[in-house]
């Protein structure tokens, strides 16, 4: 069984204030030569304020973790 990591694509919580519209989306990733050969990760995607570009800000192996992070990111973005 592979150990999947949690990935964050930002360096501080204050950067979350630059985003809005947080969503959770599945991402099916191929892993040739590994077992399992495909895995579903859950991306937290948000829209960057000002330019409207959607960006992946984090990835999780479990949908529940992604949903919890999405909720925390929304609350943090509003509070900053």
Per-residue pLDDT of 3-26, as tens digits, reads: 778 999 999 999 999 999 999 999
Confidence grade of residue 1 (pLDDT, cut at 50, 70, 90): low
Q: Hey, what domains does the chain have and what are their CATH numbers? A: 10-79 (3.30.730)
Q: What's residue 37's pLDDT?
A: 79
Per-residue pLDDT of 20-72, as tens digits, reads: 999 999 999 888 887 777 889 999 999 999 898 999 999 999 999 999 999 99
Nearest to 29 by CA among 48, 65, 56, 11: 56
Q: What's residue 64's pLDDT?
A: 97
Quick one: how many helices (H) and strands (E) in the chain? 1, 4
């Amino acid at each position: 069984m592979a150990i999947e990591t949690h990935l964050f694509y930002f360096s501080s919580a204050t950067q979350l204030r630059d985003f809005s519209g947080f969503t959770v989306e599945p991402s099916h990733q191929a892993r040739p030569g590994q077992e399992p050969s495909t895995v579903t990760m859950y991306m937290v995607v948000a829209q960057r304020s000002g330019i409207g570009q959607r960006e992946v800000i984090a990835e999780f192996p479990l949908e529940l973790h992604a949903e919890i992070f999405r909720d925390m990111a929304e609350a943090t973005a509003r509070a900053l």
